[in-house]
């Protein structure tokens, strides 16, 4: 809700149905395959819409929402900037290097405050982007974003991949997500900082 008005904050599972995004996803597949040093396959895809006043996401790791016990063990996400990502409009924030530390203690995917308090302000970096930029990161990297305090939209797509040698889990992920999703949630992690309406 933005000033008591419902606003769409996310669209998922769209890449295979929209030709321009599908073509872009093939280029990103090549990039991620180079990082993996083996072929990659699309695991999931979403666009987060953050209008003026739109809420951000609390500190979390994507790995806790990817059902890694049953599906792929490793993931690399590509942030595709549709709009500028600035401090004012709630750009992605990360703590570089912490992806090597495994899964942090969390509750429903939200990292415990004691862990967050141990990070110094200088260790937290805003990922500032321009439209068309692509930023790659793995599913163990803690990240968050703040409320959009600007008067413009901040839209970011996230295309997530896994090693093709582990299997193609795109359909399986969305089935599992539908099974696990709690009523009134937009993700398996309960990390969305906004108010959700049905």
DSSP-derived 3-state class of residue 100: helix
* CA 123 to chain CA centroid, nearest Å: 20
* Residue 22 neighbours by CB distance under 10 Å: 14
pTM score of the predicted model? 0.89
* Model confidence band, residue 197 (pLDDT cutoffs 50, 70, 90): low
pLDDT digits (tens, 9 = 90+) for 82-104: 999 999 999 999 999 999 999 99
Whole-angstrom distance, CA of residue 36 vs CA of residue 92: 23
* Model confidence band, residue 69 (pLDDT cutoffs 50, 70, 90): low
pLDDT digits (tens, 9 = 90+) for 38-54: 999 999 999 999 999 99
pLDDT at 1: 46
**Structural element, H or E, at residue 24:** helix 19-36
**Structural element, H or E, at residue 48:** strand 40-50
pLDDT digits (tens, 9 = 90+) for 103-119: 999 998 899 999 999 99
pLDDT at 148: 96
Lowest model confidence (mean pLDDT) among 10-19, 38-47, 59-68, 176-185: 176-185
């Amino acid at each position: 809700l933005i000033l008591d008005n419902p606003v769409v904050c996310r669209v998922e599972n769209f890449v295979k149905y929209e030709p321009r995004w599908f073509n872009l996803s093939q280029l990103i597949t090549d990039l991620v395959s180079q990082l993996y040093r083996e072929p990659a396959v699309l695991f999931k895809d979403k666009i987060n819409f953050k209008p003026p006043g739109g809420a951000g996401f609390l500190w979390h790791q994507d790995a806790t929402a990817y059902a890694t016990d049953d599906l792929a063990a490793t993931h690399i996400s590509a942030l595709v900037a549709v709009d500028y990502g600035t401090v004012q409009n709630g750009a992605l924030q990360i703590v570089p290097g912490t992806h090597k530390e495994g899964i942090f203690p969390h509750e429903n995917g939200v990292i415990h405050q004691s862990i967050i308090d141990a990070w110094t302000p200088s260790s937290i970096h805003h990922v500032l982007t321009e439209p068309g930029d692509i930023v790659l990161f793995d599913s163990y990297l803690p990240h968050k974003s703040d409320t959009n305090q600007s008067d413009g939209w901040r839209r970011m797509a996230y295309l997530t991949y896994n090693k093709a040698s582990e299997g193609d889990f795109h359909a399986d992920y969305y089935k599992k997500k539908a099974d696990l999703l709690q009523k009134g949630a937009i993700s398996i992690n309960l990390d969305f900082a906004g108010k959700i309406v049905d």
